[in-house]
Amino acid sequence: MLLTVVSGINNVLWTYLITAFLIAVGIYFTVRTNFVQVRYVGQMFKLLREGTKRTSGVSSFQAFCISTAARVGTGNIAGVAIAITMGGPGAVFWMWIIALIGAASAFIEATLAQIFKKKDTDSFRGGPAYYMEQGLGKRWPGVLFSILITISFGLVFNAVQANTITAAFEASFGWNKLTVGIVIAVTLGFIIFGGVKRIARISEIIVPVMAGGYVLMALYVVTANITMLPDVLGTIVGSAFGWHEASGGAMGAALQWGIKRGLFSNEAGMGSAPNAAATADVSHPVKQGLIQSLGVFVDTLLICSSTAFIVLIAGNYADSDLTGIVLAQASLSSVVGPWASLFLTLAILLFAYSSLIGNYYYGETNIEFLNANKNWLLLYRLAVLGMVMFGALKEVQLIWDMADLFMGFMALVNLIAIAILGKYAFAALRDYSKQSKEGKNPVFYASSIEGLDHIECWEKEANQEITAS
């Protein structure tokens, strides 16, 4: 009974509270950084290209791929389709606006993760738990965050992703769920027991194929129906403000579903992606902050928008019998042919499988924060594989609801922390901008910002001038 009540609160009031907080913090960071997510778009792409260069540790591109692997999931297909059926085409517009706001939060949390990261053999680890402990000077918020993210992302969300894969293959090919589940668990085990470098290498392969293939398919659909594009864009904007309510949803519904889809898809401000951002070997924290900010745009403006354009061009979103992945399949099939069902099944496999990898790593780095004993990491890995098998065979909605609740608490803890610690990211941005304007390749030192004497990974430069506080 108590769990049912908690689940109900989670689905209504709790979601609205977290949503409001995420938006407020995003707007605050957007103003304080003078729209860093807009001013530095050009540099984001430049840094991402430079980040493909190999390093002895994890490259910035690999770190970007790990976070994108977790961030981009089946929600980018099914979730967007649901948002359009429930909120109308206008939901897409508000999804874009939320991505623009959230990119500032993504920049702040990723920059903080870099500033407060720790050495881990031949790579790095970090994230909210680490910047809470070092930046706030208290360990308990980091412990709380680590427990919440490990349960929600590392265990429960991975069970849901496994369920999505097995259900899709059973529906499309009639394959036995147990067999598919075993294959998933065995291959995932090979990856996660190889450590962060193997996770980074696999993510670096899967993510470009996954995202690139899906975006190219959407581009083909748009190009083949290019004459419809002005009407589709007009419908999106018109429905967003209630001008075209007959097209599927008044302004209130469009706003609600667009915000919900945007926030919970790109995960900006929730504290998940910084765990991957911290692994990157870069010369300045702001570099990875900008790259992770770009990740929000890739998730929402590219991949979510791909689904949106496919559904809106097909025009069958008003059919009340179709929603979620079924609507996406029907839409794609109507514009490219019946083989679209096979394509989407493979897309679901890549989207969900990549999430398994990214979600697992978020739990791993937080398990190491809680206890460095390798036996705990082994138990966690076995628990992940166990949850994958559990999810492959059956879905329990209550567990999914509880995971949402844990994620909400996780986001709340992280948002409070980054609001307090944001001053360090602001100072790092000023330092980065100053060096960039001088024509230098920005390099960061602990002495670049006052109050960072206790951090581990950025050596002090002799006689370095304090540039900001």
Q: Per residue in 21-44, pLDDT tens?
A: 888 999 999 999 999 999 998 888
Per the model's pLDDT, the better-predicted residue between 251 and 356 turns out to be 356
Mean pLDDT of all residues belonging to the chain: 81
Q: Which pLDDT belongs to residue 458?
A: 81
Instruction: Lowest mean pLDDT of 106-115, 286-295, 333-342, 431-440, name the range.
Output: 333-342
- In this prediction the pTM is 0.86
How much is the average pLDDT of 121-149? 88
Question: Could you report the per-residue pLDDT of 416-428, keeping only the tens digit for each?
Answer: 999 999 999 999 9
pLDDT at position 460 over 70: no
pLDDT at position 292 over 60: yes
Q: How many Å apart are CA 200 and CA 194, to the nearest integer? A: 10
Find all residues with CB under 8 Å of 290, minimum gap 6, and list them.
Answer: 36, 40, 43, 44, 47, 107
How much is the average pLDDT of 304-317? 84
pLDDT at position 288 over 50: yes
pLDDT at position 113 over 90: yes
Q: Which pLDDT belongs to residue 420?
A: 94
Listed residue (300, 297, 298, 306) closest to 344, CA to CA: 306
| SS3 assignment, position 438 | coil
Q: How many Å apart are CA 182 and CA 125, to the nearest integer? A: 30
For the chain, which domains are there?
A: 2-448 (1.20.1740)
Q: How many Å apart are CA 95 and CA 390, to the nearest integer? A: 33
